[in-house]
Structure 1
Amino acid sequence: MFNIIPQAADAIYSWSNLLIVLGAMLALVGTVGAVWSGGVREKFADERITANEAETAKAKAETAQALLEQERLKSVMSWRRVTPTQAKKLATALSDKSIEPWLAWVGDDPEATMFRGDLEAALSAAGIKTKYFSGYARAVGLSVKGGTSEERQTLLQAFHAAGLPLYESDQVGLMKGQLEITVGTRPPPDFHGKDL
């Protein structure tokens, strides 16, 4: 069949068997290496996934904190207004009171002017007659002064029941001791009325 001598056929046979055994060993080593390195790769992939999940959670927490801060800043920067609910509460608390306060404000401050208008409407709805004065050049917050102690307490209780930040001032108003609500410039967030 082939023109080779028996010794050559034996040598080819021996080498072929050796290569088969060597190939099987290489296949075994390759399989073991692939299985082992696959496990190692999975471990690193799991660590990366865990790290990414932790970073995602941190980013979500930071985003939530930033949104809260944004809402806080909006509330600090927004103009004061009297809501319909606050106006109703004010009207309920003052409905049977007979007081006639001055409603004074910083006339050059558009926010204070708008807020004073809201307060005027709410007080009118409560049946309270007010007098006007916009001669203040500088005032902060929403304060009551003058009048009797009972009148001031009536206003303080009504405003607080409505959620409006009225405070009692010991300064002398421009209305010569008459009951006066002063609408000043919007105060800073940490203002407590007694800071002046």
Structure 2
Amino acid sequence: MASSEQKIKKKSMFNVSLATANFSFDASNLSLLVGAIFVCLGTFGVFKFGAIKEKFADERISFNESETAKANENAEIVRKSNLVLQSDLERERAARLKLENKVAPRHLRAEQAKVIVEAIKPFQGQRILVTSIMGDAEAETYAVEFIGMFREAGWNPGASNQPDLALFTPSPVGVLLSISNEDAATPPPGANPLFDVFKSLGILTAGTTNPKVAKGSISLIVGTKPNGD
């Protein structure tokens, strides 16, 4: 039974005419050929258009890098320009402050007066004569501020709240402290502390002895304003 069924199946496999077999064989070969052509075309397209895409991608990356470099370059130019501008502004500001400082009148700042008062207050009763140049309003106003400060410290600048006015040849410049020649070896108690605090605050121009100063007293002369002060 089994062998007869196999014979029937074998006969049905070859139950095709020669013409049909030839046609089917040629059609199959043609299909393989067409398929091979499409495979070749696909392979060619993948490589060719992949290379083109890669080229465009490289160009885009290069362009972006170029634009980034230009942006960085422009940013650096702007930064350097800002630095130059800032430097110019700083120079202009310094010049303006120097000019303002040169023409502005001198004043005892509150913090300066406080430091001086604390330094000389232990020597209350110390006699001091404050003098300024006659005809120099700026120096006279500055001298008045010293008189008020000395009174606050308990020193004795005299009965008047105005400085003595005098003519000098040549005119003294800045602030000068003097003591009597007789006191050179042993200065009045408040002389050295006043000298030291004036010097530390940049107020003092010079400290000298003067035969015209009364023994035991201190002389403060407010001269013309120094250039640049």
- For Structure 1 versus Structure 2, the TM-score category normalised by the shorter chain is 0.5 to 0.7
Could you tell me which residue of structure 1 aligns to residue 156 of structure 2? 129
Could you tell me which residue of structure 2 aligns to residue 100 of structure 1? 127
Aligned partners of 2:101 and 2:228 also within 8 Å:
no
Could you tell me which residue of structure 2 aligns to residue 78 of structure 1? 104
Deviation at 1:56, TM superposition (A): 2.0
As a proportion of its length, which structure holds more helix? 2
Q: Matched residue of 2:122: which SS?
A: coil
Q: Matched residue of 1:60: which SS?
A: helix
Task: Give the one of 90, 94, 101 matched to 2:116.
Answer: 90
Answer with 1 or 2: which has the greater Rg.
Answer: 2
Could you tell me which residue of structure 1 aligns to residue 136 of structure 2? 109
Aligned partners of 1:81 and 1:115 also within 8 Å:
yes
Could you tell me which residue of structure 1 aligns to residue 206 of structure 2? 168
Aligned partners of 2:133 and 2:166 also within 8 Å:
yes
Deviation at 1:154, TM superposition (A): 3.4
Q: Matched residue of 1:96: which SS?
A: helix
User: What is the RMSD of the two structures over their aligned residues, measured on CA atoms?
Assistant: 3.3
Aligned partners of 2:150 and 2:156 also within 8 Å:
yes
State how 1:11-22 maps to structure 2 within 5 Å. Answer: none
Measured at CA, do residues 172 and 38 of structure 1 come closer, stay the same or move farther in structure 2, by a change above 3 Å?
A: same
Aligned partners of 1:143 and 1:167 also within 8 Å:
yes
Could you tell me which residue of structure 1 aligns to residue 213 of structure 2? 177
TM-score (norm 2): 0.56
Deviation at 1:42, TM superposition (A): 6.3
Aligned partners of 1:104 and 1:136 also within 8 Å:
no
Deviation at 1:71, TM superposition (A): 2.8
Tell me the matched-pair count. Answer: 161
Deviation at 1:160, TM superposition (A): 3.6
Could you tell me which residue of structure 2 aligns to residue 140 of structure 1? 173
* 1:82-137 CA-partner distances (Å, limit 9, x unpaired): 12222222222222324212111112112111110100100011111114421134
* 1:130-183 CA-partner distances (Å, limit 9, x unpaired): 14421134221000113324233232024345x25124344747xx13331100
Q: Matched residue of 1:108: which SS?
A: coil
Give distance in 2, aligned partners of 1:50 and 1:87.
49
Unaligned regions of 5+ residues in structure 2, if any?
1-51
Task: Give the one of 184, 195, 209 matched to 1:156.
Answer: 195
Deviation at 1:77, TM superposition (A): 3.3
Of 107-116 and 46-55, the range deviating more from structure 2: 46-55
Deviation at 1:46, TM superposition (A): 4.6
The one-letter amino acid of 2:100's match is K
Of 181-190 and 103-112, the range deviating more from structure 2: 181-190
The one-letter amino acid of 2:99's match is L
The one-letter amino acid of 1:142's match is V
The one-letter amino acid of 2:89's match is T
Aligned partners of 2:117 and 2:153 also within 8 Å:
yes
Give distance in 2, aligned partners of 1:47 and 1:96.
66
Deviation at 1:49, TM superposition (A): 3.9
